[in-house]
Structure 1
Amino acid sequence: MALYPKPAEGSWTEHYPDLGTGVVSFEDCISPEFYADEREAIFKRAWLNVGRVEDVPRNGRYFTKEIEVADTSIIVVRDMRGRIRAFHNLCRHRGNKLLWNDFPGEEVRGSARQFTCKYHAWRYGLDGACTFVQQEGEFFGLDRSDYGLVPVHCEVWAGFVFVNLAKEPAQSLREFLGPMITPLEGYPFDRLTERYDFRADIGCNWKIFSDAFQEYYHVPVLHSQEATPAARPKVTGFEAPYYRLDGPHRLVSISSVPRRLWPADYQYPIEIATRSGLFGPWNEPDLGDDLPGTNPGGVKDWVTDNFQIFPNMEILIMSNGWYYLYRYWPTSYNTHRYEGTLFFPPAERASDRAAQECAVVMFKEFALQDAGMLVGTQQALESRAVQDDFPLNDQELLVRHFHKSVGDWVEDHRNARQEV
């Protein structure tokens, strides 16, 4: 799909004619059959972000990731030569889950020089090779070199660790990310290492929650509490100044006068006290004047770039020197696990930490408002009182594109299956 500049006239949607402007169906959010195909078509074929290099900062560090939508658990480890690798979390002897602590379904992290199975003590090096078999002479012609851990394709881009569960990915990670996303590799993500992690199990389809962060049409209504009583009467709507699509990926940028310049009666006392709020700390770190990949539309008074990386990753880069990371992991056709992480530069003083904590608390309130609304959305859609007659406006361009991209991947999978 081509990249378009800001349109001189007409709507954003009209500049992507293959999307159309008609009504849409959200059957892809309520159909167990569609979900079954989606798992195979997307989550077992696309590149999936599972962490950052800071999660495995030294040789021997590892973490596990449960990917229920693909019926697997993986190990991500930095081996003794410093290479980041990924393997299926499964012992080659009898299929026991290799790394877990008290509960097999919970993710773990730690340090090791080798991995030992809890069941029969088979051992594996950090490169995946089987290094020890208990009572090896009892087996029949066993060659340990044939029984290493099952590798998972793993690549790193801009410090983000991605895996691909396909036997052979259709594209390299850089090819998959494409020309809209890859310019961000020069952004100083590695300097924003103070992080706050959240996760929640949400009673709605993963795409419904993702949709909420792809448009700002809802913000003045659903999030009116974020405006002070003095500001609310004057908040009548919002319109983002820049949209862009590239392959299955999407971008929306927003602009605003910096919060610190708003009139005092438009700010809550906690914002003034901590010099922070929903849009982050007011004291901006010095990240340099050149922030590659950001604000590609040249938006005046730019505040945020919202990069939606297909299928389930979202990076929101804030102009005042921090960023969010969202991920949506399906657990059934009508539930998913939401992960949110906020990244800041390391706090140098107590006031920095207070500013970060204020931003985090307001972020959680913002996300909870969405989560509460979208559980109701799921329940209403499942009534099927309306099935394929939902109108979307121009600000919901990314929603329209997202569902079309998902549908295209599923259709391709179904066609390939029929040919076989």
Structure 2
Amino acid sequence: MPRFPKPPAGSWTEHYPDLGTDPVSYEDSISPEVYELERAAIFTRAWLNVGRIESLPRTGSYFTKELAAANTSIIVVRTRGGAIKAHHNICRHRGNKLVWDDDPRAESSGTCRQFTCKYHAWRYNLDGALTHVQQESEFFDLDKERYGLVSVHCEVWEGFIFVNFAQEPEQSLREFLGPMVTGLEGYPFERMTSSFKYRSEVKANWKLYMDAFQEFYHAPVLHANQSPAQYSKAAAEAGFEAPHYRIDGPHRMVSTSGVRAWEMSPEMRKPIEDICQSGLFGPWDKQDLGPMPPGLNPAKCDPWGLDSFQLFPNFTILVWGQGWYLTYHYWPTSYNTHVFEGTLYFPAPRSARERVGQELAAASFKEFGLQDANTLEATQSMIESRAVDRFVLNDQEVLLRHLHRETAHWIARHERENAVTP
């Protein structure tokens, strides 16, 4: 896959000539046929993040993940040897879903010594080997070694667990991530043990929500009500532009400056922010996390706000300058629906005030996320009308061009490789 050089200052789009500057089509967000191609070309071939190792703290810890885009459910588990492994969540006997609680469609988690099927009590150890068959003598020449769980390629990078459903992945996980993303190595992800999670079912294509978080052109307008009127008016008139965009292989990032809320005049803040000493950018009292990796804050902003790394196809790591990070996942469920997950990670709070400050930051994020999501169904409904079939993008929306171009690239390659020769 091609990688792009870091561009010099100036217009960002012009330094990625393969992306062009023409109006773009959103057919890939309204076509059931394109969605089916994405499932085959992308979600069964790319590395997909499914969680973090903190969710698997001890031997036997596991969680399941429902992946409609890959048409499967998986079990991710920590084995007795300490390895992280993934298996398709299906019993080898009659195909029952192996691990589930009350609702077989819901995800589950827990700790166990082995996995036992609810249907006929076949048992598998944590490595996926079949260890017990009820009334084994009733079967015909059954070789248990041949009927272990079907494994899924699984690798861990910086505590993030990724899976790949290809028969043989084209690249190792680290090769797939490339130098821009691996430039985050050394960030203290493992210290961020205080977390808050939101999940929402969105009636819009998954790429449309990714687009909403790939530019800040909308921020002074869409989020105006979150700021005092005089500040919002001035911000909307002045506009906002991030100082750095970068594309590397299938991945993208945008870096932006920030604000020191505690240095703003009191009338520019909300009373709850003064009480909790926190807000959207996180708690004001930043913990000392040590030196940051070289891949952060490439524009050397002071103050620095955040860096948003969009990992193809559907995963975002957003690192805040105030010493915390969050992740976004966009899991397709159809051509015009998806599940959005947002998880915020903070260092362990040192006081009750710090804990409350983290909760305020999480609540502020939820409000902003709802505002971003609020436009999506309106967008989806109207682009499905096809009354307009080309849409203009500005220079700040260069990452949107790349996501849709990259999606088309993976589909085209899949079609070439699977073309039927007469």
With structure 2 as the length reference, what TM-score do the two structures score? Answer: 0.97
1:107-139 Cα distance to aligned partner (Å, 9 max, x none) = 010111111101111100101100001111111
Aligned to 2:105: 105
**CA shift in 2, pair 1:357/1:287, >3 Å:** same
Aligned to 2:117: 117
Say if 1:214 and 1:396, in contact at 8 Å, map to a contact too: yes
Residues in 1 aligned to 2:193 and 2:229: alpha-carbon distance in whole angstroms: 35
Residues in 2 aligned to 1:359 and 1:256: alpha-carbon distance in whole angstroms: 15
1:6 CA drift (Å) = 5.2
Residues in 1 aligned to 2:196 and 2:339: alpha-carbon distance in whole angstroms: 17
1:23 CA drift (Å) = 0.7
Aligned to 2:308: 306
1:360-381 Cα distance to aligned partner (Å, 9 max, x none) = 1111110111111111000010
1:349 CA drift (Å) = 1.0
Aligned to 2:200: 200
1:43-192 alignment, distance < 5 Å: 43-192=43-192
1:87-111 Cα distance to aligned partner (Å, 9 max, x none) = 0000000110000011100001011
Say if 1:25 and 1:390, in contact at 8 Å, map to a contact too: yes
Say if 2:153 and 2:164, in contact at 8 Å, map to a contact too: yes
Residues 210-219 or 289-298, more deviating: 289-298
> Does 2:272 align with 1:270?
yes
Say if 2:325 and 2:345, in contact at 8 Å, map to a contact too: yes
Q: Which amino acid aligns with 1:333?
A: Y
1:298 CA drift (Å) = 2.7
1:7 CA drift (Å) = 2.4
Residues in 1 aligned to 2:157 and 2:321: alpha-carbon distance in whole angstroms: 21
Residues in 2 aligned to 1:219 and 1:61: alpha-carbon distance in whole angstroms: 40
Say if 2:56 and 2:77, in contact at 8 Å, map to a contact too: yes
Aligned to 1:216: 216
**CA shift in 2, pair 1:6/1:416, >3 Å:** closer
1:418 CA drift (Å) = 1.2
1:305-341 Cα distance to aligned partner (Å, 9 max, x none) = 0000000000110011001100000000000000000
1:3 CA drift (Å) = 4.5
Q: Which amino acid aligns with 2:173?
A: L
Counterpart of 1:299 in 2: which secondary structure? coil
> Does 2:419 align with 1:418?
yes
1:334-355 Cα distance to aligned partner (Å, 9 max, x none) = 0000000000011121101110
Say if 2:124 and 2:131, in contact at 8 Å, map to a contact too: yes
Say if 1:200 and 1:338, in contact at 8 Å, map to a contact too: yes
Say if 1:242 and 1:299, in contact at 8 Å, map to a contact too: no
Q: Which amino acid aligns with 2:273?
A: E
With structure 1 as the length reference, what TM-score do the two structures score? Answer: 0.98
Stretches of structure 1 that go unaligned for 5 or more consecutive residues are none
How many residue pairs were aligned?
A: 418
Which residue of 283, 286, 302 maps to 2:285? 283
Counterpart of 1:145 in 2: which secondary structure? helix
Counterpart of 1:186 in 2: which secondary structure? coil
1:116-172 Cα distance to aligned partner (Å, 9 max, x none) = 101111100101100001111111111000000000000000000000011111111
Give me the CA root mean square deviation.
1.1
Residues in 2 aligned to 1:119 and 1:196: alpha-carbon distance in whole angstroms: 35
Q: Which amino acid aligns with 2:221?
A: V
Residues in 2 aligned to 1:184 and 1:280: alpha-carbon distance in whole angstroms: 20
1:227 CA drift (Å) = 1.2
Say if 1:231 and 1:265, in contact at 8 Å, map to a contact too: no
**CA shift in 2, pair 1:419/1:297, >3 Å:** farther
Say if 1:187 and 1:292, in contact at 8 Å, map to a contact too: no
Residues in 1 aligned to 2:277 and 2:50: alpha-carbon distance in whole angstroms: 33
Aligned to 1:7: 8
Report % sequence identity: 58
Residues in 1 aligned to 2:199 and 2:96: alpha-carbon distance in whole angstroms: 27
Which residue of 359, 362, 365 maps to 1:360? 362
1:70 CA drift (Å) = 1.1
Residues in 2 aligned to 1:193 and 1:228: alpha-carbon distance in whole angstroms: 33
Say if 2:7 and 2:15, in contact at 8 Å, map to a contact too: no
1:267 CA drift (Å) = 0.8
1:5 CA drift (Å) = 4.2
Residues in 2 aligned to 1:243 and 1:164: alpha-carbon distance in whole angstroms: 28
